[in-house]
Amino acid sequence: MQESAFSVFKYTMYWVLLLTAKLAFSFYIEIKPLVGPTKEIMQVHISTYQWHEFFPQAKNNIGVVIALWSPIIIVYFMDTQIWYAIFSTIFGGIYGAFRRLGEIRTLGMLRSRFQSLPGAFNACLIPAEKEEKPKGLKATFSRKFAEIKSNKDKEAAKFSQMWNKIIESFREEDLINYREMNLLLVPYRADRELDLIQWPPFLLASKLPIALDMAKDSNGRDRELNKRLNADVYMGCAIRECYALCKNIINFLVLGEREEIVINEIFSKVDHHIEQGDLLVEFNMSALPSLYEQFVQLIEYLMENKKEDKDKVVIVLLNMLEVVTRDILDDTVPSLQESSHGGSYGMHQGMMPLDQQYQYFGTLHFPVTEETEAWKEKIRRLHLLLTVKESAMDVPSNLEARRRMSFFSNSLFMDMPVAPKVRNMISFSILTPYYDEEVLFSIDLLEQPNEDGVSILFYLQKIFPDEWENFLERVGCSSEEDLKGNTRLEEELRLWASYRGQTLTKTVRGMMYNRQALELQAFLDMAKEEDLMKGYKAAAEMNTDEQVKIEGSLLTQCQAVADMKFTYVVSCQQYGIQKRSGDRRATDILRLMTKYPSVRVAYVDEVEEVEERGRDKNRDTAVKKVEKVYYSALVKAVPKSVDSSEPDQKLDQVIYRIKLPGPAILGEGKPENQNHAIIFTRGEGLQTIDMNQDNYMEEAFKMRNLLQEFLKMHGVRKPTILGLREHIFTGSVSSLAWFMSNQENSFVTIGQRLLANPLKVRFHYGHPDVFDRLFHLTRGGVSKASKIINLSEDIFAGFNSTLRGGNVTHHEYIQVGKGRDVGLNQISLFEAKIGCGNGEQALSRDIYRLGHRFDFFRMLSCYFTTVGFYFSTLLTVLTVYVFLYGRLYLVLSGLEEGLNSHPAIRDNKPLQVALASQSFVQIGLLMALPMMMEIGLERGFRNALTDFVLMQLQLAPVFFTFSLGTRTHYFGRTLLHGGARYRGTGRGFVVFHAKFADNYRLYSRSHFVKGIELMILLLVYHIFGHAYRGVLAYVFITVSIWFLVGTWLFAPFFFNPSGYEWQKILDDWTDWNKWMNNRGGIGVPPEKSWESWWEKEQEHLSHSGTRGIIFEMLLSVRFFIYQFGLVYHLSFINKNKSFLVYGISWLVIFAVLLLMKVISAGRRQFSADFQIVFRFIEVLIFLSFVSILITLIVLLNMTFLDVIVAILAFMPTGWGMLLMAQALKPLVVRAGIWGSVRALARGYEFIIGMLLFIPVAFLAWFPFVSEFQTRMLFNQAFSRGLQISRILGGPKKDRSASNKE
């Protein structure tokens, strides 16, 4: 596990700098200023307390010292994480800049660098016998590539094949339309007669018409015109190419000898003047526009290629000749004069009879009979260059297409290994685990409206309007109605929608780009020059079914090589069960296998087999037993034979079948799904791809470069896991999805870049990484599958690899798409899973072993980037608790009042710094720093600043503060009690409204209870605290904590679509009441009954150990402090400090609980038979309660504030008792009072529900709140042309209108 000396030096220096900064800051800002005031406080003697003080003789005010120093100490241990964020931002940014990230980030930058693109393309993606590339710093700063000199070169042909394949994939994905595709394509078939480079028309568009205008207006000012023309490189290219094509086409068309002589003379004259550089002086340029018009007309006739147009073509050619000879050329053409005897080329040949006159252009090569694809392409291209008047500056207009083109072009200038030939490359497999998610959206599912009347299809059309238009253009329809009723078109529609969701179809299409890419690359490697110049497309078109059967054909060889080097296995665990039950998912998977014949599907097959178990001696018969046998099976698609006599011929065929020793699923499911199928993969590399990922054609071309990294030394050893960057493609759905994708993007780029180098602690975090298959197969596979402990199975593969001498690297010249969760509930479930996973990691032996074997600084890197991040998050929340409970102690004991004038209490600077650090983490600035740096690097710092401001406006701090609570709760609970479990998040589109009961179930323990607790602490402090009144610093501190409380209580409702619609609020209330009152029991799911949910919510306590239970009870003790402190602050006890007051308060609590028990027991016993008596008793109890209250008010001067204080004192005590009872459940059940505990708990849940529901319902009264919320939630989609009001209300109106009609 040792690294090279240089690597050790790098990460050691990183941590030395970081720790120096951290320790200096902590000492000078937090610790040193507090030492003096602390000493002073320890000398002050306080004699009067406001409660019953147990240790009145205690010296040095030790309680005050603890209350002051506790938050500082916690922040001291937590703020290393903040310093890590700052340093990772700086170093990650520097490393990213040196790796040339973001050099090409806009279309303008792409245009300016396009000339060196073919050279870079060939240097990176085309295997060639050439000298070694420069390495090191020189390579970083220069990386110049030889520009392609001529179109005749094989390199140009190879570039055009691959570039065009990328552009065509954009068109197939509906990112661009046909016009944009034609502007982006390079000529497929190299024209050897043109000795120049043919750039894509989007670079040359509108250049020629502009040049014509400039030439027309030049009036002989040739120097100025030359200067203007030379200023734009592509204008020169456009002019040269049009001239060459014009020459080429006219020479091809004209067959007559005389005309050929005349034309050759004109062209040689022009060429001569071009060489001399005096073309603009010698020729009259003002007539060019009329020549241009005639030439455009000629090209249009050639495009149509109709026989009846021949005379028109002759006239156009004669007109062109006249314009050239009369208007443009200043001197005459000798051969033309000779042929016409001084006349003008046969138009006026004196009085000669017509039949004897020589007809110019009488014999033409028109119509073009052998019209090849190359000829058509040439004419189309020339027409584009001549006629596109508007600039193509915004081509492509689709943002995703721009991003992909820019990233791909940029990556070619980054440092990557040279590509080997396909036959020499490292072979690899891709493995995708699949359970039961959507494979392909059905038409019913797409058109089925949700409760708001929004269908998935409608939603997608609004979010991807340009791609929808491009799709309609591709299938030749004008509207959605044209697609209905046509099976083929409906199939296309299903695919279009599925490619925009998180479906298996999308993933399979993306991964199969690898095979297409390898097939094309194999063709470019193996094709002879003649085939190469014709192009791969021509080879594919020539290869009819008969020729494919011929083993020697080039295409067959290419396919064979691609199949040898690439395998794709989809591990569909349930495929056998789905097939037997007739599930549509099985049909869709089969359809995928048929569409992509090289896809293989692995599944676990359960078969019941009869087994003989000896013989029955009495009956002399065999004893048979039916038992379930499990097989791991691999299937492929079999094309249905046309002449098959079987009506139900099987379309899939089992290739391998391996008997398993028992049921395969022992852990969480997904790891076993990978492990049972890994045996079916082939090759030396294994890429693990998740079900929510995507790939791109242009990235597939770089796969063989990436695999070469396995052969390079990275430090002292070769890599065993190659890390890839991801692009999160779900960011445009809503503002939450945008926050999540930004957070995730920064982790998979700048975060992992730093982990791999210099820190050397990158593990495996997700699914695009490529494993050294043989290394991992012999060392325990790519997934650990023990239940609970390996909940985050991915990272354990990284731990395992590193512990066994592996090396994990990170490469940023290649990317894979990834989908993320897009709704708050999905995101929270994901965060909960990761939080629990980290809790389990902290308890795992893998982390223990890593900690032992790493040196100190590498161990620090490992800690702060895995479990340490979650522990620091826990400390962040703990800081708030410790600060507020410390203040509670000072306020309720009266110590704060006694020390009121003291600076350590009144204006405590270190404490303010500590709480500011906590706020820094709380509102997500810890995440924002690396995020801004990465956006700045890749898209420019102005964009980064804009995004940051937008995120604040869309309340990103609310989201990050809420996530903090989720992570803290689940991480802490897992550390205490274990019992982590997998939480499925689902991968649907979140445009639906989550019910109040759903939110309550999900966030009750993690956020709501904690939020209310902090709110009570703040209220008590506001009522009784004196020290900070009017101090600005304190206002900021409490504002930060109030913000935390508000966020934890109300964020789920704010981020809930239609969360403030009155009708939905009423429905939610009914639903919540029903859920609260439903009885639980065996078989009743938590979603149906509060009782079932309540029992399940404390399930973790039943698995917990003794230490966990004791700790839980100690934590519950905090709820009894309120009562002890607050009863002494009631006005009617006349400042009595006796312990008896506290004892009497407990008597009141027990009396109230006993009364409640009597009433509930009475209701069960007497409400049926003695209804009137029971009601009378209830009235008496109520009246006696009112009379006690009045007596207290009249005799003891009880105030309204006392009522509030009593509630604040006694409510937490009841909750603390409930927590104690839950922790000691076996004893409570034995004592027979579990039913009472449940009844008390239900009462508390009702109160919490009401506290949350009333403010939400109040806001729902105002219609503008709903509008504002919608705007905030979907602003990202708004900016992409999405009218959310149409989405949430449109379809209903549309339907009602159609009904009226």
DSSP assignment string, 1054-1085: HTSTTTT-HHHHHHHHHHHHHHHHS---TT--
Three-state SS annotation for 746-776: HHHHHHHHHHHCCCCCCCCCCCCCEEEHHHH
Cα dihedral: 159, 165, 168, 170 (round 10): -90
- Angle (deg, nearest 10), helices 207-216 and 288-304: 150
Amino acid at 892: L
242 pLDDT exceeds 60?
yes
pLDDT of residue 924: 78
Q: What is the pLDDT of residues 1116-1152, one digit of tens each?
A: 999 988 888 888 888 777 777 777 888 888 888 888 8
Q: What tokens appear for 757 in the block? A: 């180098």
Who has greater pLDDT, 338 or 194?
Answer: 194
Of the given ranges (315-319, 730-734, 951-955), which has the lowest mean pLDDT? 730-734
- Rounded to two decimals, the pTM is 0.89
350 pLDDT exceeds 50?
no
pLDDT of residue 145: 58
pLDDT of residue 426: 96
Q: What tokens appear for 407 in the block? A: 């990233």
pLDDT of residue 1111: 92
* 3 state DSSP class of 661: coil
CA 674 to chain centre: 22
The conformation of residue 778, written as its DSSP 8-state character, comes to T
pLDDT of residue 343: 43
Q: Contact, 323 vs 291, CB < 8 A?
A: yes
Q: What is the pLDDT of residues 957-1009, one digit of tens each?
A: 999 999 999 999 999 999 998 877 777 666 666 567 889 999 999 999 999 99
pLDDT of residue 1030: 56
Q: What is the pLDDT of residues 362-394, one digit of tens each?
A: 778 777 777 677 788 888 888 888 888 877 788
Q: Say how far apart CA 937 and CA 1102 lie, in whole Å.
A: 50
Q: What is the pLDDT of residues 4-18, one digit of tens each?
A: 999 999 999 999 999
Q: What tokens appear for 438 in the block? A: 């959507």
- Angle (deg, nearest 10), helices 1234-1260 and 1032-1054: 100
Q: Say how far apart CA 409 and CA 1196 lie, in whole Å.
A: 83
User: pLDDT exceeding 70 applies to what percent of the chain?
Assistant: 88
Q: Contact, 708 vs 419, CB < 8 A?
A: yes
pLDDT of residue 220: 64
57 pLDDT exceeds 60?
yes
Q: What is the pLDDT of residues 996-1038, one digit of tens each?
A: 999 999 999 999 999 999 999 999 888 887 655 556 666 777 8
Neighbours of 1133 (CB within 10 A): 16
Query: Residues in the chain, how many?
Result: 1301
Name the nearest CA neighbour of 104 among 744, 706, 746, 937: 937
- Beta strand 428-434 with 566-572: parallel, antiparallel or unpaired? parallel
Q: Say how far apart CA 374 and CA 364 lie, in whole Å.
A: 20
Q: What is the pLDDT of residues 859-909, one digit of tens each?
A: 999 999 999 999 999 999 999 999 899 988 888 888 877 777 666 666 677
Of the given ranges (351-355, 434-438, 742-746), which has the lowest mean pLDDT? 351-355
- Beta strand 770-772 with 428-434: parallel, antiparallel or unpaired? unpaired
Q: Say how far apart CA 467 and CA 942 lie, in whole Å.
A: 28
pLDDT band, very low/low/confident/very high, at 341 (cuts 50, 70, 90): very low
pLDDT of residue 168: 94
Q: What tokens appear for 834 in the block? A: 């990761």
pLDDT of residue 337: 60
User: String of b and e for 723-759 (b: at least 16 CB within 10 Å)?
Assistant: bbbbbbbbbbbbbbbbbbbbbbbbbbbbbbbbbbbbb
Neighbours of 232 (CB within 10 A): 13
Amino acid at 427: S
Q: What is the pLDDT of residues 1193-1219, one digit of tens each?
A: 777 777 888 888 888 888 999 999 999
Q: Contact, 413 vs 100, CB < 8 A?
A: yes
Q: What is the pLDDT of residues 463-507, one digit of tens each?
A: 889 999 999 999 999 888 888 888 899 999 999 999 998 899 999
Distances (CA, A) of 53 to 132, 294, 361, 1072, 1125: 82, 106, 118, 45, 10
Beta strands in 21-113 (DSSP E): none
Q: In the block, which residue shows the tokens 């008010």? A: 1193
Q: Say how far apart CA 1133 and CA 1149 lie, in whole Å.
A: 17
Amino acid at 1020: V
User: pLDDT exceeding 90 applies to what percent of the chain?
Assistant: 41
Who has greater pLDDT, 1060 or 700?
Answer: 700
pLDDT of residue 133: 56
pLDDT of residue 5: 93
Average pLDDT, the chain: 84
Distances (CA, A) of 938 to 700, 720, 947, 1218: 21, 28, 13, 53
Distances (CA, A) of 474 to 397, 483, 858, 963: 17, 12, 54, 43
648 pLDDT exceeds 50?
no
Q: What is the pLDDT of residues 931-962, one digit of tens each?
A: 999 999 999 999 999 999 989 888 899 999 99
**709-721 mean pLDDT:** 94
1153 pLDDT exceeds 80?
yes
251 pLDDT exceeds 50?
yes
Q: Say how far apart CA 865 and CA 882 lie, in whole Å.
A: 25
**384-407 mean pLDDT:** 88
Sequential DSSP letters for 831-899: HHHHHHHHHHHHTSHHHHHHHHHS-HHHHHHHHHHTHHHHHHHHHHHHHHHHHHHHHHHHHHHTHHHHT
The helix (run of H) or strand (run of E) holding residue 476 is: none
Q: What are phi and psi of 855, to 5 degrees?
A: -75, 175
The helix (run of H) or strand (run of E) holding residue 938 is: helix 925-939
Q: Say how far apart CA 999 and CA 992 lie, in whole Å.
A: 13
Q: Contact, 846 vs 756, CB < 8 A?
A: no
What is the separation, in whole angstroms, between the first and last Cα of the chain?
76
Task: Give the helix ranges, DSSP H, for 902-1008.
Answer: 903-906, 909-922, 925-939, 941-953, 956-977, 996-1003
Q: What are phi and psi of 625, to 5 degrees?
A: -135, 130
98 pLDDT exceeds 80?
yes
Of the given ranges (444-448, 641-645, 997-1001), which has the lowest mean pLDDT? 641-645
Who has greater pLDDT, 51 or 826?
Answer: 826
Q: Say how far apart CA 388 and CA 183 lie, in whole Å.
A: 10
pLDDT of residue 1048: 95
pLDDT of residue 987: 61
Task: Give the helix ranges, DSSP H, for 217-358.
Answer: 222-231, 233-253, 257-276, 279-282, 288-304, 310-322, 334-340
Of the given ranges (23-27, 251-255, 292-296), which has the lowest mean pLDDT? 251-255
Residue 982 β-bridge partners: none
Q: Say how far apart CA 1225 and CA 1212 lie, in whole Å.
A: 20
Q: What is the pLDDT of residues 1078-1091, one digit of tens each?
A: 887 788 899 999 99
Q: Say how far apart CA 473 and CA 1048 lie, in whole Å.
A: 48
* 3 state DSSP class of 686: strand
**106-122 mean pLDDT:** 89
* 3 state DSSP class of 19: helix
Identify which of 60-74, 100-114, 503-517 has the greatest average pLDDT. Answer: 503-517
Q: What tokens appear for 1213 in the block? A: 């005590």
422 pLDDT exceeds 70?
yes
Q: In the block, which residue shows the tokens 């603009």? A: 280
pLDDT band, very low/low/confident/very high, at 1167 (cuts 50, 70, 90): low
pLDDT of residue 153: 64
User: Angle at the Cα of 681 (from 676 to 684), degrees rounded to 5?
Assistant: 125
**1282-1288 mean pLDDT:** 48
Q: Contact, 1218 vs 1108, CB < 8 A?
A: no
Q: Contact, 554 vs 207, CB < 8 A?
A: no
